[in-house]
Structure 1
Amino acid sequence: MASSVFLLDLKGKPLIARDYRGDIPLTAIERFMPLLQEREDEEGTGLPVLTENGVTYLHLREKDVYLVALTRKNANAMTLLQFLHQLCKVFTEYFNALEEESIRDNFVIIYELLDEMMDYGIPQITEPKILQEYITQESHILEIMPRPPLAVTNAVSWRSEGISYRKNEVFLDVVESINMLVNPTGNVLSSDIRGAIKMKVYLTGMPELRLGLNDKVMFESTGRTAKGKAVEMEDIRFHQCVRLSKFETDRTISFIPPDGEFELMTYRLNTQLKPLILCECVVETHRGRIEFMVKAKAQFKHRSTANNVEIVVPVPGDADSPKFKSTVGSVKYVPEQSAFVWKMKQFQGGKEALLRAHFGLPSIRDEDPERRPPIGVKFEIPYFTTSGIQVRYLKIVEKSGYQALPWVRYITKNGDYQLRMPDPLTSGESRLPPI
């Protein structure tokens, strides 16, 4: 339970305050900013939960605004922090950006939202789509309050009654982002997979969906044997529509979905991966110039293709007079990033590509130049998953018994994907072929 919720500017001055329980004086917020600064001075970072004199301050910062919830109770901190995150999401949906100026321009509607989203300090309706059905932005003062949608009084607060479509469809995307750090010799220093299952639901009525994955824990708990590879997901996080009790007992993902687009779940796989796109780089420095040779290798299956590949190679900040030659794609010097960007619209699995780059160095440099930032790689591979996760089934049940079409798509893309640069070679004569 939250006793009150505040929106503050960067100096700690209240912009909006909503007291829900009356058990903490509103003047208690004056201690928030000094307390936060004390903790930052002591620990070097601001903690999201601060306590003083029996009052707990839970907070987050969005641009130039602090959102703070106060409580005296032994409240669930994660629930209140999640509520503040959802509050940010709702305000952003309404005002496009959550910042001090947008708050000052929308006092009336913000108080309306605070009253609907929390009752006596307990979170209530937090779905932006449901709130937008009866709290509109057409006027600051709502002269006629329309009847709340049935979703507000229904246990399924994220979906309204009476939704109807001529064609019933469900689109499901399994999107995996690869985080990876590779050293100059090609050895992987760290890697993991961050996955998300995103859905677009266009279904009539109040359907129930059941999703089955090749979940290793499910197979082990039921004593069944997986026909193919089974994956062990960690740090699973679900949308509120998923029945957690059902998942905990038999690992079944059962839910009544929101209408339209939403993120059903996220997960992590902490596993050792080989680079999908490996870049071998040789750098030579000479008096008045620097030369690069970059070889890119697509180390995934031949039948797959990476789209919109970008390889960002850092160069010295004072480099000039760029010259490029590549076997595939196009190359552009981006001086504001101190880098050149090699772009390939498509890069087929098993293929290699070569790039040569030459820059002038007008300033006198030391023999041992400072270590450069790593090479960054961007890509997207459709119909491909690194983890091997599979949608085994997606069942749609609705009392009217209509037929619905489920569509499933897999996408692998880069997350924080970096390859460290080698130390430059310094010699009188270039050992790289001329451009």
Structure 2
Amino acid sequence: MAGAASALFLLDVKGRVLIWRDYRGDVTAIEAERFFTKLVEKEEDVVAQGPVLQEKGITYMFIQHKNLYLMTAARQNCNAASHLLFLHRVVQVFKHYFDELEEESLRDNFVVVYELLDEMMDFGYPQYTEAKILSEFIKTDAYKMEVAQRPPMAVTNAVSWRSEGIRYKRNEVFLDVIESVNILVNSNGQLIRSDVNGSLKMRTYLRIMQMPPGYFCSGMPECKLGLNDRLLLEAQGQTTRGKSIDLEDIKFHHCVRLTRFENDRTISFIPPDGSFDLMTYRLSTQVRPLIWVEAHVERYSRSRVEIMMKARSQFKERSYATNVEIDLPVPADATSPNIRTSIGAATYSPENDTILWKIKSFPGNKEYLLRAEFRLPSITAEDEVPERKAPVRVRFEIPYFTVSGIQVRYLKIIEKSGYQALPWVRYITTAGEYEIRLF
């Protein structure tokens, strides 16, 4: 067990208790005051140590959301990560009910808040944290709350993330494989940071048996997903013509059968209805920058500066980047810009001291140029402090492409009645923290 929470507190930014729920009777509201005093006294230490404080035998675990603090206090030895995850789930549930979670929304709906806290935690132990399930038997219209006559099947069923009675005209499963590339290049052209964060995002719309004409009722279909995971292929004694990959830091949605994955690397699950993140992963292998940027700056007698920048795509010709944006820093005192580009459009942003170059479509293995000329003040101080040079920042999307080479080998939907389902798979690569230092 994670260790029970004694109480849950919702506080404003000044530390005043807005709502609190006592679960075990061994703490009081005074503990919230002690928590906030400790938080203010050791604010710098908290940033370094994380969102956990201890004082006089009580452990405080907290998160901040806008103008609120959500905090659990526990006297028992507890799993802090579990409590912090629960607090984040509380935020998601409240936002589902109130759209925006703020101090005002809590004051307007405190009856519903208490009802939700009672259902989400029992005697200090987390219970139901799925907003869709809670909304089936705790219904609210502004300040009113309605309780269903009987708890829905999903509450008593082992599959708590999937409810009953959902209707669709077609069986469809959409899977997006999205990778975010993080790149940092120093002024000597050396790659000093390179990693890829990936996620498998799903949207499922599945039913089981026919209801009134044109509609269907959802059941419990099972999905099986196969990737070109090297460990899986070796375990099955298979080889692939394409590239196999080594996945790191894998995290699954709780619908995935972890025991099955640990035994034979098979990703098997009963999917929730609608959108969810099935899996996230990371790859720390060295990645060649997909869009490379070079810039040459020439100053003339301290009154004029010329910049020539090259942007080169370093991926295959059959792929293309869309919505490319390149932020090029320029001197803070630059005026009278004259900018020319071989493709796209570039604008000067004096409030940010940058040139923003936008390219709608950037094919692979291509190179484009930007030339800019600026006027500078003719008088400069002898002891002027050198200006700090900001890096070039690049943003883009590359559809139908992944850096890691991850591939969905199969996506099967298995259901007893044998209905047909349409799986759709899409690959997208985006720029994460993508910076190139030129100076």
> What range is the shorter-chain TM-score in?
over 0.9
Displacement after TM superposition at 1:225 (Å): 3.6
User: Using a 3 Å threshold, how does the CA distance of structure 1 residues 41 and 331 change in structure 2: closer, same or farther?
Assistant: closer
Aligned mate of 2:368, from 332, 353, 359: 353
Contact kept? 1:57, 1:70, Cα under 8 Å = yes
Q: 1:137 to 1:334 in 2, by over 3 A?
A: farther
1:26 match: 29
Q: Deviations over 1:202-240 (max 9, x none)?
A: 111211111111112323445544443211111111111
1:336 aligns with 2:351: yes
User: Residue 354 of structure 1: SS of its match in structure 2?
Assistant: strand
CA distance in 2 between counterparts of 1:45 and 1:22 reads 32
Superposed displacement of residue 46, structure 1 = 5.6
Distance 1:172 1:20 in 2: 41
Cα distance in 1, alignment partners of residues 14 and 379 from structure 2:
46
Cα deviation code 1:239-267 (max 9, x no counterpart): 11111122122211111111111111111
Query: Paired residue for 2:431, among 404, 407, 414?
Result: 414
Q: Which residue of 1 aligns with 2:399?
A: 382
| Aligned-partner Cα distance in 2 for 1:73–1:382 | 50
Structure 1 residues 132 and 272, CA, compared in 2 at 3 Å: closer, same or farther?
Answer: same
* Cα distance in structure 2, aligned partners of 1:186 and 1:272: 14
Could you tell me how far apart the structure 2 residues matched to 1:325 and 1:279 are?
17
Q: Counterpart of 1:433?
A: none
1:48 deviates by 1.2
Asked if 1 retains the 8 angstrom alpha-carbon contact of 2:173 and 2:206, the reply is: yes
Show the counterpart of 2:214. Answer: none
TM-aligned CA deviation for residue 144 of structure 1:
5.2
Structure 1 residues 43, 89: closer, same or farther in 2, change over 3 A?
Answer: closer
Q: SS at 2:87's partner residue?
A: helix
| Bigger mean CA offset, 142-151 vs 211-220 | 142-151
State the one-letter code of the partner of 1:49: V
Following the alignment from structure 1 to structure 2, what is the Cα–Cα distance between the partners of residues 92 and 289?
53
Task: Report if the CA contact (8 A) 1:184-1:280 is conserved.
Answer: no
The residue aligned with 1:266 is: 280
Check the 8 A contact 2:6/2:74 in 1, yes or no. Answer: yes
Change (3 A) 1:133 1:143: closer
Q: C-alpha displacement at 1:274, in angstroms?
A: 0.9
> Which amino acid in structure 2 is aligned with residue 51 of structure 1?
Q
> Structure 2 matches for 1:300-319, cutoff 5 A?
300-319=315-334
Gaps of 5+ in 1: 423-435
The equivalent of 1:250 in structure 2 is 264
- Partner residue of 2:421? 404
Query: Which residue of structure 2 lines up, in the alignment, with residue 116 of structure 1?
Result: 119
Query: Structure 1 residue 355: deviation in Å?
Result: 0.2
Give a deviation string over 1:65-110, Cα, whole Å, max 9, x none: 1110111222222111111111112222322332222222221221
Match of 1:325 among 309, 323, 340: 340
Q: Which residue identity does 1:282 align to in structure 2?
A: H
Counterpart for residue 222 of structure 2: 208
Residue 233 of structure 2, aligned match among 219, 222, 241: 219
Instruction: Give CA-to-partner distance per residue, 1:86-136, whole Å, 9 cap, x none.
Output: 111222232233222222222122112211211121111111222233333
1:78 aligns with 2:78: no
- Secondary structure of 1:174's counterpart equals strand
User: Matches of 2:23 and 2:376 in 1, distance apart?
Assistant: 64
User: Does the CA contact (< 8 Å) of 2:324 and 2:396 recur in 1?
Assistant: yes
CA distance in 1, matches of 2:131, 2:46: 36
Q: Secondary structure at the match of 2:96?
A: helix
Give the aligned residue type for 1:176.
E
1:61 corresponds to which letter in structure 2? Answer: Q
Point out where structure 2 has 5 or more consecutive residues left out of the alignment.
Answer: 208-218
Bigger CA drift: 402-411 or 210-219? 210-219
SS at match of 1:131: helix
Instruction: Determine the structure 1 residue equivalent to 2:186.
Output: 183
The 2-side partners of 1:270 and 1:41 are apart by: 31
**Cα pair 2:39 2:46 within 8 Å, conserved:** no
| Aligned equivalents of 1:15, 1:192: Cα separation in 2 | 42
Report the TM-score when normalising by structure 2. Answer: 0.91
Q: Secondary structure at the match of 1:336?
A: coil
How far apart in 1 are the matches of 2:409 and 2:147?
Answer: 49
Note if contact 2:321-2:396 (Cα within 8 Å) is conserved in structure 1: yes
Give the one of 277, 294, 298 matched to 1:284.
Answer: 298
1: CA distance, partners of 2:438 / 2:42? 38
* Aligned partner of 1:370 among 377, 380, 387: 387
Q: CA deviation at 1:165?
A: 2.2
Q: Which amino acid in 1 is paired with 2:400?
A: Y
Q: Aligned pairs, how many?
A: 422
| Shift in Å, 1:401 | 1.0
TM-score, reference length from structure 1: 0.92
Q: 1:62 to 1:139 in 2, by over 3 A?
A: closer
Q: What CA RMSD, in Å, does the superposition of the two structures yield over aligned residues?
A: 1.9
Could you say what secondary structure the match of 1:87 adopts?
helix
SS in 1 for 2:168: coil
Q: State the distance in 2 between where 1:23 and 1:58 align.
A: 16
Asked if the contact 1:39–1:47 (Cα under 8 Å) also holds between the matched residues in 2, the reply is no
Asked if the contact 2:136/2:148 (under 8 Å) is kept, the reply is: no
Larger mean Cα displacement after TM superposition, 195-204 or 107-116: 107-116
Contact conserved, 2:137 with 2:146, CA < 8 A, in 1?
A: no
8 Å contact kept, 1:306–1:381: yes
1:13 Cα deviation from its structure 2 partner: 1.1
* 361 and 94 in structure 1: CA distance in 2 versus 1, 3 angstrom threshold: farther
Q: Which residue of 2 aligns with 1:54?
A: 57
Give the counterpart letter for 2:179 in structure 1: E
- Following TM superposition, by how much is the alpha carbon of 1:285 offset from its aligned partner in structure 2, in angstroms? 2.9
Amino acid at match of 2:277: E
Q: CA deviation at 1:145?
A: 4.2
